[in-house]
């Protein structure tokens, strides 16, 4: 990839980023710093994604920027306590969350309890409906084969998910190209507008470009936008900015 190609890919990817800090030692000061990074000299990211306890902090920090506030529920283990998940979702929306990233109870799904997983998503969607977008994390690295990923994505979309998302970033295998492709194919087949979020392990411009190439192939070259495709990442933004600025320098100097 030449500097100008990397710069073009980075410019395309930057507005698709959900700038993320879900580290175990995250702090309120760190949340404010994350928000300060969300609007760059090359444009704004799509959203910041942080723990529910920092939603109100992000809401205050991002007024007027257009950057969405995403948070996680049932995270990271995808548990079975639906009542607790509903309460967590309600609190997050009340605090100002625009997007809810729900970990599907994927262990229940793998154990043959697909109906339980679907019901949890349906109930969280009812809380979100008209108030926040619902992005369902499938934890594709734990699901195994692409066919199982596709089945989970089909279930989540049928239950009302606005996005299907690969991963929490907390397991050994996170976003892979086959996982992204399986989710894109589910969205293409679902018969309504929906999106895909590739999250976990996407750190370089080449990583982002590869996932976007899959989106272009499956959905068409004009499909990916902040409303339909996201990258969940913590370190990617710095790589994108470096590539944009490197490409600008290369263009000015003719190499």
Kindly calculate the radius of gyration of the chain based on its CA atoms and give it in whole angstroms: 18
Whole-structure pTM value: 0.96
Please write the tens of the pLDDT for every residue from 91-128: 999 999 999 999 999 999 999 999 999 999 999 999 99
Q: Are 88 and 55 in contact (CB under 8 A)?
A: no
The chain-wide mean pLDDT, for the chain, equals 96
CA distances from 98 to 64, 68, 128 (A): 14, 6, 9
On the question of pLDDT at 74 being above 60, the answer is: yes
Residue written as token pair 């929490």:
168
What's the CATH number for 3-250? 3.20.20.70
Catalytic residues: 101, 165, 197
On the question of pLDDT at 176 being above 70, the answer is: yes
Q: Where are the domains of the chain?
A: 3-250
Of the candidates 247, 242, 228, 250, which has an alpha carbon nearest to the alpha carbon of residue 46?
228
* Distance in angstroms between the alpha carbons of the first and the last residue of the chain: 13
Residue 255: pLDDT band (50, 70, 90) is very low
Please write the tens of the pLDDT for every residue from 143-168: 999 999 999 999 999 999 999 999 99
198: three-class secondary structure by DSSP: strand
Please write the tens of the pLDDT for every residue from 181-223: 999 999 999 999 999 999 999 999 999 999 999 999 999 999 9
Bridge pairing between strands 17-21 and 47-50: parallel
62: three-class secondary structure by DSSP: coil
């Amino acid at each position: 990839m030449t500097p100008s190609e990397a710069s073009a890919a980075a410019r395309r990817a930057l507005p698709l980023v959900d700038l993320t800090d879900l580290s175990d030692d995250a702090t309120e000061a760190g949340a404010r710093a994350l928000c300060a990074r969300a609007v760059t000299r090359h444009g704004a990211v799509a959203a910041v994604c942080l723990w529910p306890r920092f939603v109100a902090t992000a809401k205050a920090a991002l007024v007027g920027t257009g950057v969405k506030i995403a948070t996680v529920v049932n995270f990271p283990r995808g548990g079975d306590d639906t009542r607790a998940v509903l309460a967590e979702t309600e609190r997050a929306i009340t605090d100002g969350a625009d997007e809810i990233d729900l970990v599907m109870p994927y262990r229940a799904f793998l154990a043959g309890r697909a109906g339980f997983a679907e019901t949890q998503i349906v109930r969280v969607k009812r809380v979100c409906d008209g108030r926040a977008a619902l992005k369902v994390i499938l934890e594709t690295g734990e699901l195994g084969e692409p066919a199982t990923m596709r089945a989970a994505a089909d279930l989540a979309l049928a239950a009302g998910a606005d996005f299907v998302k690969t991963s929490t970033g907390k397991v050994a295998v996170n976003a892979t190209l086959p996982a992204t492709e399986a989710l894109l194919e589910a969205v293409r087949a679902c018969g309504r507008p929906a999106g895909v979020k590739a999250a976990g392990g996407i750190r370089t411009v080449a990583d982002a470009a590869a996932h976007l190439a899959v989106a272009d192939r499956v959905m068409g070259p004009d499909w990916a936008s902040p409303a339909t495709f996201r990258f969940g990442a913590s370190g990617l933004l710095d790589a994108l900015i470096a590539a944009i600025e490197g490409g600008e320098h290369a263009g000015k100097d003719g190499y």
